[in-house]
Amino acid sequence: MQIKMVDLHRQYLGIKNEIDAAIQSVLTSTDFIMGSAVREFEAGLASFLGAKHAVGCASGTDALQVAMMALGIGRGDEVITSPFTFVATAETVALLGATPVYVDIDPKTYNLDVSQIAARITTKTKAIIPVHLYGQPADMAPLLAITKDRGLKVIEDAAQAIGARYQGISVGTLGDIGCLSFFPSKNLGAYGDGGAMVTNDAALAERCRMVTVHGSRKRYQHEILGVNSRLDTLQAAVLKVKLRHLETWTEARIGIAHRYNQALKGLELATPYCAPGVRHVYNQYSIRTSRRDALAEFLKSKGVGHAIHYPLPLNLQPAFRHYVPEGRRFPVAEAVSREIISLPIFPEMQDTEIDAVNSAIRGFFG
């Protein structure tokens, strides 16, 4: 049995009629750029998350960059974030001329260790980017207390966590602005790249919208520096359909995660920790074991899909090493990167597939 990490074809077949009709509607209208589906999806997304504003853009990476541009972050500024995340989190900081400053992660949640943030704040610090990694909300209450006292901006990287909640509130809406990715394998995935920013600040939302269309509110009149980062109408139409199913899919992911948790108890591994008062949405189901590489080879031999998110923390990446003072290490992030492995999880997984993954892992550990 071959088991994929994600089976998007199976998902498509389950909503084929809705998706085909939505795409055909855009093709018929030929309204490919900033068509009505974009505004309709943005309104639906804001409502789903309990935010006042949502602004679509071309990718989750762009969402981070546009948010920082709208907040005026640039050369000479410092932005605190995690070294254990997808490269875009720090890449966008660096591209704007700012400096990414890393704080090590919590060994259970793999999110920012909030207790270490205050020591890394300087007069140059402009913002903090907590990452809600794998769908697990970061510990936002103490983080927000730190930033409020110091007037720092909070940009939530919620690329992997749409639908996750912290103390009953949707992640992405707790800070100044939240950034989402609609990469196809995400819990809410487009059929190509796509992203969005969500905020309760009307002025910030308007500025984000301007940045995504070359810094303009009116065609050929450019008030600020911007980029070309619009959410395609076709992608918005697909996302609008999928948004209606997201809650059902999320509950299915949580159910699969619970089945994994039960089956993998007592083995030489750590299953995902779910902090009290949060809703983890399991964009990835990632386990930790000192025998990671051997397990990966074993799963491959059994036809079980797997992935490593992420094999090298950003402080050790060649493109980012120069941002880290000589001798400074991040022992938890570095240890986790050597031991983490993600297992297949998608809403359409069959019981036989879940059982096969569990059986393979239990077989490996004997």
**Nearby residues of 171 by Cβ (< 8 Å), 6 or more positions away:** 132, 137, 138, 140, 156, 158, 161, 164, 165, 178
Contact 99, 93 (CB under 8 A): yes
**Structure confidence at residue 50 (pLDDT):** 98
Which residue, 317, 266, 342, is CA-closest to 3?
342
* Separation CA 310–CA 304 (nearest Å): 19
Q: Which amino acid is at 283?
A: N
**Structure confidence at residue 149 (pLDDT):** 86
Hey, what domains does the chain have and what are their CATH numbers? 8-102+110-243 (3.40.640.10), 246-365 (3.90.1150.10)
With 0-12 / 13-18 / 19 or more C-beta atoms within 10 angstroms meaning exposed / middle / buried, residue 219 is: exposed
**Structure confidence at residue 21 (pLDDT):** 98
**Structure confidence at residue 366 (pLDDT):** 86
- List the strands of the sheet with 278-279, edge to edge: 169-170, 165-166, 278-279
Contact 182, 235 (CB under 8 A): yes
Contact 208, 66 (CB under 8 A): yes
Cα distances (Å, whole numbers) of residue 177 to 54, 158, 207, 229:
10, 10, 12, 17
pTM above 0.85, yes or no: yes
Kindly give the confidence (pLDDT) of every residue in the chain, 366 residues in length, as a single tens digit, with 9 standing for 90 and above.
Answer: 899 999 999 999 999 999 999 999 999 999 999 999 999 999 999 999 999 999 999 999 999 999 999 999 999 999 999 999 999 999 999 999 999 999 999 999 999 999 999 999 999 999 999 999 999 999 999 999 999 989 999 999 999 999 999 999 999 999 999 999 999 999 999 999 999 999 999 999 999 999 999 999 999 999 999 999 999 999 999 999 999 999 999 999 999 999 999 999 999 999 999 999 999 999 999 999 999 999 999 999 999 999 999 999 999 999 999 999 998 999 999 999 999 999 999 999 999 999 999 999 999 998
* Separation CA 61–CA 210 (nearest Å): 17
Q: Where are the alpha helices (DSSP H) in the chain?
A: 8-14, 16-29, 36-49, 60-70, 88-95, 140-150, 202-212, 233-243, 246-263, 292-301, 331-339, 351-365
**Structure confidence at residue 301 (pLDDT):** 97
* Separation CA 205–CA 288 (nearest Å): 39
Peptide bond into 310 cis (omega under 30): yes
